[in-house]
């Protein structure tokens, strides 16, 4: 599994998003290098308020998931797909959040775990920014870490030095063997787990980290 940032993914995913708050960039929609205008005060933000915003956001995305699935929601097929966790967009769609929860909350920092479909790094940063606005504050994402992509987890991740045909083939074979042992197969709509963390060593060679360096204020 080559965990290198890409322009988009073809299946479901989940990230951990974080917000930090050294002086805030109130005018930054998504970038880190903007003029500092004022400082955000996060004292009024509680975990309950954050979870309410996440629930609202997830509800809106759930409706989008049903809309893009192109399946009659009253049919037996839709029920069986939902039970298997295979309900997802029929073809290409806009980014959709299928799961969103607070992993840690230590104001002014927080970490979120997301499951996404067709996400991009820009979209994930935008989600964090909008969460900050909903909380009457500002937030930006410092880093994104992918912890799962379809059937591949961090156990399958390869460092840059291992990006060879032999190593990739070995990981694929190992994943295939584990699925045979489980005597089943992964659902069509597979989840990717990403996590955004307050700080990551940019010099690290580990390919397990998907870095999205923006200022979290």
Q: Is the dihedral of CA 16, 22, 24, 25 positive or negative?
A: negative
Asked whether the CA dihedral 106, 48, 195, 154 is positive or negative, the reply is: positive
Cβ–Cβ < 8 Å for 83, 164: no
* pLDDT tens readout for residues 175-214: 777 776 665 554 444 444 444 443 333 343 333 333 333 3
What whole-number distance in Å separates Cα of residue 143 and Cα of residue 23? 17
Query: What is the band of 14 on the pLDDT scale with cuts at 50, 70, 90?
Result: very low
Backbone angles phi, psi at 102, to 5 degrees: -80, 120
Each residue's pLDDT tens digit, 136-181: 998 888 888 888 887 788 888 888 888 899 988 888 888 777 776 6
pTM value is 0.58
Q: Is the dihedral of CA 20, 194, 155, 2 positive or negative?
A: negative
């Amino acid at each position: 599994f080559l965990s290198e940032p890409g322009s988009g993914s073809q299946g479901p995913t989940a990230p951990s998003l974080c917000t930090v708050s050294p002086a805030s960039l109130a005018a930054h929609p998504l970038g880190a290098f903007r003029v500092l205008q004022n400082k955000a005060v996060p004292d009024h933000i509680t975990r309950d308020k954050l979870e309410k915003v996440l629930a609202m956001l997830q509800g809106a995305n759930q409706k989008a998931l049903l809309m893009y699935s192109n399946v009659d929601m009253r049919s037996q097929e839709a029920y069986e797909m939902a039970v298997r966790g295979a309900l997802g967009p029929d073809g290409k769609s806009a980014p959709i959040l299928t799961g969103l929860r607070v992993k840690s909350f230590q104001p002014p920092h927080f970490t979120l775990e997301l499951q996404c479909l067709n996400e991009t790094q820009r979209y994930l940063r935008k989600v964090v920014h909008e969460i900050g606005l909903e909380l009457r504050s500002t937030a930006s994402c410092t880093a994104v870490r992918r912890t799962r992509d379809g059937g591949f987890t961090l156990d399958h991740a390869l460092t840059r030095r291992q990006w060879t045909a032999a190593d990739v083939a070995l990981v694929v074979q190992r994943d295939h063997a584990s699925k045979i042992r489980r005597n089943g197969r992964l659902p069509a709509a597979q989840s990717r787990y990403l996590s955004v963390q307050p700080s990551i060593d940019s010099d690290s060679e580990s390919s397990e980290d998907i870095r999205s360096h923006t200022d979290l204020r």
